[in-house]
């Protein structure tokens, strides 16, 4: 995965826990169905136990997948590593990627997750997408006082000028 000895990890982030919501709801529904079958008893006890085992499998598989998926930002690349038995990675070089985008739904803004798009790489449910965006080079130098063509210095932050004028 490393292309040069100078490359180092800047940020390693797991996907947001909201990824687990859908599989856990499915597992809960299956668990309720299996418990209902077992509660009825008789010939439905064994199918109920099998449905409960399926519910447990769905939940454990989702948690395992979530645990083994990481978004990694290095000094040169942004990539996603996933898989446990067979480890795979998909990524893009930051030097070749012109834009890094963050998309967030209203729920994503409230809970702190979003979709990160960097070239061909699109990663859903990234926890703290703005922090990842910033580390990956999405932020330019902060706004400061910079000289204009005629060497006049103007503050580019209008709020700061308003606050100073109100004092």
Q: List, for residues 86-108, the tens digit of each pLDDT value.
A: 888 888 888 887 788 899 999 99
**Integer-rounded Cα radius of gyration of the chain:** 24
Q: List, for residues 114-125, the tens digit of each pLDDT value.
A: 998 888 888 899
Split at pLDDT 50, 70, 90, the class of 2 is low
- 3-class secondary structure, 118: strand
Split at pLDDT 50, 70, 90, the class of 41 is confident
Tell me whether residue 165 is in a domain: no
Q: List, for residues 7-30, the tens digit of each pLDDT value.
A: 788 888 889 999 999 999 999 999
Tell me whether residue 133 is in a domain: yes
For the chain, the average pLDDT equals 81
Looking at the structure of the chain, the number of domains it has is 1
With b for 16 or more beta-carbon neighbours within 10 A and e for fewer, the 133-144 pattern comes to bebbbbeeeeee
What would the mean pLDDT of 33-42 be, rounded to a whole number? 92
Tell me whether residue 113 is in a domain: yes
Placement of tokens 């859908």 in the chain: 22
Tell me whether residue 164 is in a domain: no
Contact 64, 84 (CB under 8 A): yes
Tell me whether residue 100 is in a domain: yes
Q: What are phi and psi of 76, to 5 degrees?
A: -120, -20
Tell me whether residue 143 is in a domain: no
In terms of residue numbers, what domain contains 96? 9-138
Tell me whether residue 111 is in a domain: yes
| The pLDDT of residue 76 | 84
Tell me whether residue 32 is in a domain: yes
Contact 135, 76 (CB under 8 A): no
């Amino acid at each position: 995965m490393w292309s040069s000895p100078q490359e180092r990890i800047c940020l390693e982030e797991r996907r947001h826990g909201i990824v687990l919501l859908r599989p856990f709801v499915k597992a809960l529904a299956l668990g309720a169905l299996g418990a209902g079958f077992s509660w009825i008893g008789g010939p439905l006890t064994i199918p109920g136990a099998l449905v409960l085992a399926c519910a447990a499998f769905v939940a454990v598989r989702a948690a395992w997948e979530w645990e083994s998926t990481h978004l990694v930002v290095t000094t040169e690349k942004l990539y996603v590593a996933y898989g446990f038995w067979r480890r795979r990675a998909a990524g893009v070089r930051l030097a070749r990627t012109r834009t890094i985008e963050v998309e967030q739904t209203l729920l994503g803004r409230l809970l702190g997750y979003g979709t990160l798009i960097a070239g061909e790489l699109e990663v859903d449910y990234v926890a703290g997408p703005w922090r990842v965006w910033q580390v990956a080079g999405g932020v330019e130098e902060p706004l400061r006082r910079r000289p204009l063509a005629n060497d006049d210095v103007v503050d580019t932050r209008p709020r700061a000028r308003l606050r100073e004028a109100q004092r």
